[in-house]
Structure 1
Amino acid sequence: MARLVNNFTVSCREIINNELVKVDYISTRPENCNCDFRINIFYCKGEQIYRIATWILLIYSIILGCVSMYILYYRFCKVGQSIFFQPSKRRGILRPRPQETFHLICCTYNTLQATHHLIKLFDGYSNTLWAELYLDITKLVTYALATLYPISIIYSTPTVDLTTMRWTPNKYLIDIVGFSLMIFPFIINIPIAFYTGYYADNNDIKMADYFFKLHYIMWSFWCSVLLGILLIFWYKLINILNKHMKLINNRRNRTNIGDIWKLKKLKRVVRNLTIVVFSFGSIFLLHFIFDLLRALCYKSFTIHNFELNVGSMLFAYYVIPISLNIAQFTMIYHMLRTTQESQNIATPLRVFRKSGTPDSSTVESSQVLHSSNDNITSNSIVNNECHLCDQVNKSDKQLFRYEDYSNNSRFSNKYSINSITTTFGQSSVSLGDMHSSSEIYITSDVFNQRDLINSNEESNIDERKPNMDDDDPCYTYNHDRKEWLAEKPKRVPLKR
C-alpha cells in the first residue's frame, strides 16, 4: 500500500444494507475507492489510467520546459537580451520584458510540475503535509511570475503623443500592486495548505476538508483579482492606442511613410496585445471557475464519480500546458517572422531627389524603410509616385548619382539608372527619362520628428541657401549624423 493512502487522499464507498455509502476507513478492495489525483494516484479505481495520463503529462511538461529553457538561453546568452527593460523615469522596479517573462513562466511551471508528477509516480512524498505544500508552492511561484506579465505589457506599449495620453500608469502604483500580488498569496495560502496536510495526516478529515475548501476559495479569489487587473490594464492601453491611431488617420498628409509605418506598428501591437490578454484571461477565467467548483463540490461529489474525477484531472493538468504550448508556438512563429521582416525593413531613411527641371530649385523629400541589403522604396510626396531601387549598396551613408555618366568601379553598374523603376498605379515604366542631374541622397537617423523636414518647406528652397550643384562637395556631408558621406564616384561615360 502506498504511503499517501489515507482517508483524505482516498475516498471509499461500500454497500451497507443494500446502500452505497461513504465509509471512514480504507476499503480492502481498490475498486471501491477513488483517489485524490492531485497528490495520489494509487490504490483506487482506474489507477492505470491515472498513471498513463501522468506519464504523458510528465513527458509533455519536460518538452515544453526544455523549449522555453532553450529560448531563454538563446535570448540571454546569444542575443544578449535581459529579462528586464532598461531603467528609466517612467519605469519602476518591476519592468519585465513580455517574451522573456512568458518563457520564464512556461519554463518554471513545467519544470515544477514535471518534478511533482515524477515524485507522485514514484511515491516520493513522505506525508500529506509535504505533498500539499509542494503542490501549492508550484502554483504560487507560477502565479507570482504571471503577475509580471501585465506589467510587461504596460512597459512594452509604444510611447504615444501627449495629446492622446489620457491615462498614464503610475510606476509606484504598478510596483505596489505587483509586489502585493506576488507576496500576499504566499502569506495567505501556505498556512492554509499546511493545516490541510496537517489535519489529513492526523486523520481529522473534517478539518482537512474545511481547509481544503478554504484553500481553493482563496485560489479562486486570486485568479479573479489577476484577471480583473489584466482586463483593466488592457482596456486602458487599447483606448490609448486606438486614440493615437485615430489621430494619425485624421492627419492631412496621409502619404507620409513614417505615419504609415507607425500606424502599422500600432495595429500590430493592438492585435498582439489582444491575443495575449485573451489567452491569459481565458486561463485565469477557467481556473477561477474550476477552483470554485473544486472547493464547493470536489470532496463531497466529484471524487466519488470516476468519470468526473478523470475529467477533472485532464482539465486541471492539461489545459495550462496545452495553452502554454499554443502561445509558445505562436510567439516562436512571430519571432521568426519578425526576424525575417527586419531583414527587409530595418531602418527608416530620408531620400532627397532634385527636381527634373534644370533651372528649378525644388527638392522632393520622402521617407523610406531601408534594409541593409534589400530593396529601397520611396514614396514621393509631390506626385505620389513610387521609386524602387533593387539591391542597393549595404551602406546607408553613401551618395548615389543616377545620371548619364555615372559608372565607377566603386559602385557596380547594377546601380545605374536602368535598375530604377517608377510605378504609376499598376503600370511600371523605366526612369531612363530622368534628368541627368538627378541625385538621390540617402541618410539615416530619421523618424525624429524634430529632424524631419516639412514637406511644405521642401517644396520651395530659400534663395539664400546655395543650389544643389553636382560639383559642390558640401552636399556630401551628412548633417543628420554629423559625418561625411562616401566620396563621389568619378564620372565615367557609359557605353552607348
Structure 2
Amino acid sequence: MADDSSVTIIRTFDRHCFDEVCHCDWRITLQNCEEHHAMYIINVINIIVSALGCIIGIGLLIYRVGMKGHRIWSPAGTVTGIIRPKPVDCSMVLFAVFNALRFITSLILITDVDPGNLLGRSVLYEVPWSIGLGGITVYLLGVSQAIAQSHSTLGWLPSPWIVDVAGIIALTLPTVGIFITIAAGSTIDSDQHVAEILTRINYGIWFIWTAGIGTAVLLAGIRLVRILRIHHRKLRQGSTDDAVRAGIFKIQVAIAAFTLCLYFFSFVLLLYGILRDLIMENTTGSIVLGAGWSLTAGITVLVVQISIIFSRNTTRNAALRSKKSTDESTDIDSSSGNSTRPDHEAGVGISTLGAVSTTFQNDNEAIMNALQTNYPQEQNYCLPASKKPNSSKYFRFGRKNTKRPISTTSSQMELSRYSD
C-alpha cells in the first residue's frame, strides 16, 4: 500500500485532486475530472428534457391563456386574499422559466464558458431551483385559495390573511439560499473553508424547506382528493362519472409527482450538505447523486405537463358538451317536466357545466358539477331565514367565520380549472 505522504493532494472549492486523479464539483465545472464523461452525458440529457419542458410549457400557456382565456392571476374581488395564483397557469410560467435556466446552466457546463467565474456559475446553478420550487408553491397556494372559496370545505383552511402570510414566506424564503450562495462564491478565493461551510448551511436550509413544502403538498392533496371522492360517491351521474374520475386522477398525478420530487430532492440535499467532500471524492456516488439531482425536477415537470395535456374523448361524454347544446337540452327537459339534472332539482337552475363555456369543456369541470350539486348552501334556499346557518359565529384563529358568497359560475369553476 502506498504511503499517504507520497500522494500530492490539491484541494480547491470546485476540485479535489489526488496526484493525477481529480474529482470535480459538477454543479460548477465538468472539465478534467473523473466524472467528466458521465456528467457530460447527463447534462446533454438535461438539455433535451429542459428544452422539451420549456416548449411544452410555452405551448400550454399559449393555448390556455391566449386561446382559452385563462388568467395567470385571479383578479381582485373574485377570490379573497392577496396571493391569488391560478394554480396550473401560474406554475406553468415558473416551470417554463425554470426549464429555460436549467437549459442554459447545462449548456454553459458542457461548453465550459467563462470557467474562472465560479461565483457566476454558482448563482446560475442555484437560481433555477428557487424558481422551480416557487412553481410548486404557487400550485399549492392556488389550490388552497380555490378550496377556501368552497362552501363545502369551510373551516378546513385558516383565515385568508394567514394563507397570504404563509404564501409570501413560502415564495420568498428560498431566495435566502441565493444570497448565501453569493456570499459563499465571494469567499471562494479569500477563505475556501468559509465558502464550504456556507454551502453546507445553504443545502441544510434547502433540505428543511423542500421537505416542508413536500409535506404541505402531500397533506393538501390527500385532503382535496378525499373531498372530491366523497362528493363523487354522493353523486354518480352516468354521463359524468368517467370525467370526474379522470379529473381526480390528474390531481393525483400532479400531487404524487410534486411530493416524490420534493422528498427525493430534500434527501439529496441533506446528503450533499453533510457529505459533500466524501461525495465529491467517490466517482460512482457523485455520478449517481448528480444524475438524480440534475434530471428529477425536469422529468417531474414533464409528467405534470403530460397529465394536463391528456384528455379523454369528449364526443361520448355528455358532461363535456358546449354551452349551446347543454342549454338546449335543459330547455327541452324543463318544458317536458322530466328534468333529471341535480342542479334543477336543487332549485339552482342551469348547470354550471352548461354556463361556463361555449367550447367543449374538459373532465375536470365535471368534478365541479359533482361538488356543486351537493353544496350545503343550495339546501338553505328551502329553509326559513330564522333557521339558516349563522355565518357570524367565531371559530378558528379567533376571527369571524367569513361569509362565503353565493356560488357563481366563476367561483365554482375556480377549483376545477386548476388542472384543466
Q: Fold-level match, TM-score > 0.5?
A: yes
Q: What's the secondary structure of 1:92's corresponding residue? A: coil
Residue of structure 1 equivalent to 2:299: 322
Distance of 2:309 and 2:300 partners within structure 1: 14
Task: Using the TM superposition, give the Cα deviation of residue 78 of structure 1 relative to its aligned residue in structure 2, in angstroms.
Answer: 2.3
Of 203, 219, 222, the residue aligned with 2:209 is 222
Write out per-residue CA displacement over residues 6-41 of structure 1, whole angstroms, 9 at most, x where no aligned residue.
Answer: xxxxxxxx9654776854477898851011000100
Distance of 2:257 and 2:53 partners within structure 1: 17
Residue of structure 2 equivalent to 1:469: none
Distance of 2:219 and 2:16 partners within structure 1: 51
- Distance change >3 Å, CA 265–CA 151, structure 1 → 2: farther
Distance of 2:138 and 2:339 partners within structure 1: 41
> Greater shift after overlay, 150-159 or 281-290?
150-159
Distance of 1:180 and 1:341 partners within structure 2: 43
Aligned counterparts, 1:218-367, within 5 A: 218-245=205-232, 248=234, 267-299=245-277, 301-334=278-311, 337=313, 341=317, 345-346=321-322, 347=326, 349=330, 351-352=332-333, 364-367=337-340
Q: TM-score, normalised by structure 1?
A: 0.60
Of 127, 135, 154, the residue aligned with 1:145 is 135
Amino acid at match of 1:61: S
Give the number of the structure whose residues are more often strand, by fraction.
1
RMSD of the alignment, in Å? Answer: 3.9
Q: What's the secondary structure of 2:340's corresponding residue? A: strand
Q: TM-score, normalised by structure 2?
A: 0.70
Distance of 1:36 and 1:157 partners within structure 2: 44
- Distance change >3 Å, CA 103–CA 352, structure 1 → 2: closer
Task: Using the TM superposition, give the Cα deviation of residue 220 of structure 1 relative to its aligned residue in structure 2, in angstroms.
Answer: 0.3
Residue of structure 1 equivalent to 2:44: 55
Overall identity of the aligned pairs, in %: 18
Does structure 2 retain, via aligned residues, the 8 Å contact 1:41–1:51? yes
Q: What's the secondary structure of 1:174's corresponding residue? A: helix
Of 107, 110, 114, the residue aligned with 1:121 is 110
Q: What's the secondary structure of 1:367's corresponding residue? A: coil
Of 77, 89, 92, the residue aligned with 1:88 is 77
Of 162, 177, 187, the residue aligned with 1:189 is 177
Distance of 2:31 and 2:76 partners within structure 1: 51
Does structure 2 retain, via aligned residues, the 8 Å contact 1:160–1:244? no
Residue of structure 1 equivalent to 2:59: 70
Task: Using the TM superposition, give the Cα deviation of residue 127 of structure 1 relative to its aligned residue in structure 2, in angstroms.
Answer: 2.1
Task: Using the TM superposition, give the Cα deviation of residue 172 of structure 1 relative to its aligned residue in structure 2, in angstroms.
Answer: 1.8
Higher relative contact order (CA closer than 8 Å, sequence separation 6+): 2
Q: What's the secondary structure of 2:174's corresponding residue? A: helix
Count of equivalent residues:
345
Residue of structure 2 equivalent to 1:425: none
Distance of 1:325 and 1:103 partners within structure 2: 11
Write out per-residue CA displacement over residues 159-211 of structure 1, whole angstroms, 9 at most, x where no aligned residue.
Answer: 6555x64424432222111111111222x323321222122222x33222211
Does structure 2 retain, via aligned residues, the 8 Å contact 1:351–1:368? no
Distance of 2:101 and 2:299 partners within structure 1: 16
Write out per-residue CA displacement over residues 436-464 of structure 1, whole angstroms, 9 at most, x where no aligned residue.
Answer: xxxxxxxxxx989979x99xxxxxxxxxx
Q: What's the secondary structure of 2:338's corresponding residue? A: strand
- Distance change >3 Å, CA 72–CA 41, structure 1 → 2: same
Residue of structure 1 equivalent to 2:395: none
Q: What's the secondary structure of 1:34's corresponding residue? A: strand
Is 1:205–2:205 an aligned residue pair? no
> Greater shift after overlay, 70-79 or 289-298?
70-79
Does structure 1 retain, via aligned residues, the 8 Å contact 2:208–2:266? yes
Amino acid at match of 1:103: M
Distance of 1:450 and 1:175 partners within structure 2: 29
Task: Using the TM superposition, give the Cα deviation of residue 272 of structure 1 relative to its aligned residue in structure 2, in angstroms.
Answer: 3.1
Distance of 1:113 and 1:107 partners within structure 2: 10
Distance of 2:18 and 2:246 partners within structure 1: 59
Residue of structure 2 equivalent to 1:178: 167
Does structure 2 retain, via aligned residues, the 8 Å contact 1:165–1:240? no
- Distance change >3 Å, CA 234–CA 23, structure 1 → 2: same
- Distance change >3 Å, CA 295–CA 270, structure 1 → 2: same
- Distance change >3 Å, CA 341–CA 101, structure 1 → 2: farther
| Higher Rg | 1
